[in-house]
Structure 1
């Protein structure tokens, strides 16, 4: 309840009603038609009761609430109206009601339509795959890159990625040369898209930015690299290739990052259990 709500639920502080402070004088029979008697009857007859005011107020508020709800429903459901189109622009990742893609390649959604929504969906799905723990194993990493990137870009990228995911780098994360965690520990790497936006779209090309939060770290007793969160923006330059959107180039930058909340960090055991119980999502919309 907002601070101002009490003003509507109770009388204003300091309100004084004159009728409650006056001195009542009993008049003789027949004198009730005098100035005092006539005035008191006039006031009583013209003033509605408090219960009646309350009932009328409730009815007015109810009507207003129903009207507001109906207006919101019609704006969201009528995709053909002008207001519906404006709403879609303001909420680029809002559900559209269109069926998501049904194809899948290497566990990654595929067959995105050649539309702005299709480009957004592709970028979000690709961010999930590229931010997953499959990237820390050479074989699965090559499969992910071949699936997501255009052929010429994939050929150049695989060698660069192999050097980036070196044995020394994996060792710093607590992983062996094949990207496996030690026994009794759980390595976590997940990307969770928060929203997408189309920066440009023209013909066979699209540039889409994905704002996301990520989880990365090692959960388990004695871990020196606890699971932490990141906030980044991943921008993909997409091109239409082989009847689907493929990545030609991509770049990341930090943020936007919100203020940390007041929720206490969970134990390594709770984090490991959550990763095992809760699977990740795809974002085919």
Structure 2
């Protein structure tokens, strides 16, 4: 008989808060239970011994963990908990052009900025001229934004590029299809930091393609790491340069791909986040 069978406390009877206790079945003698004192004592003793054994094992395991971490033979490549754990610090209080802004002037702020900027720079909005200009002027430092703007306009306006990914010359998706371009950061890492400049790596997965009937470029998943060069400008972190490389790429699971309708609904219905470090 399970613990749930012996005691039922949620709700009681009609919400009265009373506890209903279901007693073990007897052999028919309603008073027979009073003669089982010895058996109850044995069970209690076994329970106490079991708890003590578990407690000793837990203490030994904890001590072993402390010894290993202090041992020179431990894994020096193992990251510290502070390296990968969330800081618990709120990243920003406001936004500019729909992009989180006003990050802290520390490593946590630089990493949060890089993560959120990568989402904006990898979004489908970059294929709209007006929106692209807003994004670039928001995330890039003023002294490099103009040049970057021209480079990006040239790339995104390329008819060959747009045709290869299935979009029209205006950057719009064909009728009946939805263009999807999303970046989802998995983690960030600071490789250099100063009060006026920082280098941050963002590891992320991206979704890119067209969902809908007749799509020749279905939505696919990719993995990249982008290294952002940031500098402190106007009380915020701004991008000055970046480099992208493939991976690390995990092994894909054997899952059935969703239908075009399911993918379209997911992108339309599931909103994004403000990413914090």
Tell me whether the two structures share a fold, i.e. TM-score over 0.5.
yes
Point out the more displaced range, 55-64 or 149-158. Answer: 55-64
Structure 2 residue 216 is the aligned partner of structure 1 residue 224: yes
Conserved 8 A contact 2:100-2:116: yes
Measure, in 2, the Cα distance between the counterparts of 1:173 and 1:106: 27
Q: Counterpart in 1 of 2:176?
A: 184
Conserved 8 A contact 1:128-1:282: no
Q: Counterpart in 2 of 1:267?
A: 259
Q: RMSD of the TM alignment (CA)?
A: 2.4
Measure, in 2, the Cα distance between the counterparts of 1:239 and 1:116: 12
Measure, in 1, the Cα distance between the counterparts of 2:102 and 2:44: 63
Q: Which has the larger radius of gyration?
A: 1
Q: Counterpart in 2 of 1:87?
A: 81
Measure, in 1, the Cα distance between the counterparts of 2:61 and 2:155: 55
Q: Counterpart in 2 of 1:57?
A: 50
| Deviation of 1:110 (Å) | 0.5
Count of residue pairs brought into register by the alignment: 219
Measure, in 1, the Cα distance between the counterparts of 2:59 and 2:144: 55
Q: Please point out which of 154, 161, 171 is paired with 1:163.
A: 154
Measure, in 1, the Cα distance between the counterparts of 2:248 and 2:242: 18
Q: Counterpart in 2 of 1:214?
A: 206
Task: Give the SS at the match of 2:180.
Answer: strand
| Deviation of 1:63 (Å) | 7.2
Q: Counterpart in 2 of 1:151?
A: 142
| Deviation of 1:62 (Å) | 5.8
Task: Give the SS at the match of 2:50.
Answer: helix
Measure, in 2, the Cα distance between the counterparts of 1:66 and 1:223: 59
Tell me which stretches of 4 or more aligned residues in structure 1 moved more than 3 Å. Answer: 49-55, 62-69
Structure 1 stretches lacking a partner, 5+ long: 1-48, 70-85
Q: Counterpart in 1 of 2:97?
A: 106
Q: Please point out which of 193, 198, 203 is paired with 2:190.
A: 198
Q: What is the correspondence of 1:16-95 to structure 2 with a 5 Å cutoff?
A: 52=45, 56-61=49-54, 87-88=81-82, 90-91=83-84, 94-95=85-86
Point out the more displaced range, 209-218 or 264-273. Answer: 264-273
Measure, in 1, the Cα distance between the counterparts of 2:59 and 2:260: 48
Measure, in 2, the Cα distance between the counterparts of 1:68 and 1:146: 54
Conserved 8 A contact 1:214-1:231: yes
Deviations 1:110-139 (A, max 9, x none): 000100000000000000000100111111
Conserved 8 A contact 2:181-2:206: yes
Q: Please point out which of 271, 274, 277 is paired with 1:282.
A: 274
| Deviation of 1:152 (Å) | 1.6
Measure, in 1, the Cα distance between the counterparts of 2:93 and 2:170: 32
Q: TM-score scaled by structure 2?
A: 0.73
| Deviation of 1:275 (Å) | 0.9
Measure, in 1, the Cα distance between the counterparts of 2:172 and 2:61: 54
| Deviation of 1:67 (Å) | 10
Q: TM-score scaled by structure 1?
A: 0.71
Conserved 8 A contact 1:210-1:235: yes
Measure, in 1, the Cα distance between the counterparts of 2:201 and 2:247: 12
Conserved 8 A contact 2:91-2:104: no
